[in-house]
Amino acid sequence: MTRHRAHHSGPSLRSSSPLRVAAGTVLALGGVTALLLATQPAAAIGTVVPLGTAAPYSVLGGQTVTNTGPSVLEGYVGVSPGSAITGFPPGIAAEVHAADAEAAQAQSDLTIAYNNAAGQASDDLIEEGDLGGMTLTPGVYTASSSLGLTGPVTLDGQGDPNAVFIFQIGSTLTTASASSVVLLNEAQACNVFWQVGSSATLGTGSTFVGTIMALTSISVTTGTTVDGRALARNGAVTLDTNTFVSSECEVVPTPTPTPTPPGDGGDNPPGDGGDNPPGDGGGNGGGDNGGGDNGNGSGSGADYETLASTGPSVNVPLLVAAVGGILAGAGLILTSFRMRRVSS
The answer to whether residue 321 is domain-embedded is no
**Considering its fold, how many domains does the chain have in total?**
1
Q: How far apart are CA 11 and CA 17, in angstroms?
A: 10
Averaged pLDDT, 218-242? 98
Please say if the pLDDT value at position 5 is more than 90: no
- Residue 236 reports pLDDT greater than 90: yes
Integer Cα distance of 176 and 150 in angstroms: 5
Could you report the per-residue pLDDT of 128-170, keeping only the tens digit for each? 899 999 999 999 999 999 999 999 999 999 999 999 999 999 9
pLDDT for residue 130 = 95
**Residue-range definition of the domain harbouring residue 232:** 52-245
Residue 147 lies in a domain: yes
Residue 292 lies in a domain: no
Distance CA 104, CA 54 (A): 10
**Angle CA 118–122–128, to nearest 5:** 100
Q: Is residue 66 part of a domain?
A: yes
| pTM passes above 0.75 | no
Q: Which of 146, 147, 126 is nearest to 136 (CA)?
A: 126
Q: Is residue 36 part of a domain?
A: no
* Residue 128 within any structural domain of the chain: yes
**83/135 Cα distance (integer angstroms):** 40
Q: Do the domain assignments include residue 126?
A: yes
C-beta of residue 208 within 8 angstroms of C-beta of residue 190 = no
pLDDT at 213: 98
* Per-residue confidence (pLDDT) for residue 326, from 0 to 100: 78
Weakest mean pLDDT among 38-52, 55-69, 234-248, 326-340 = 326-340
Is 201 inside any structural domain?
yes
Give me the DSSP letters along 280-343. Answer: TT-SSTTSTTTTSSSSSSSS----EE-------SS-HHHHHHHHHHHHHHHHHHHHHHHHHHHH
Give the DSSP letter of residue 108.
H
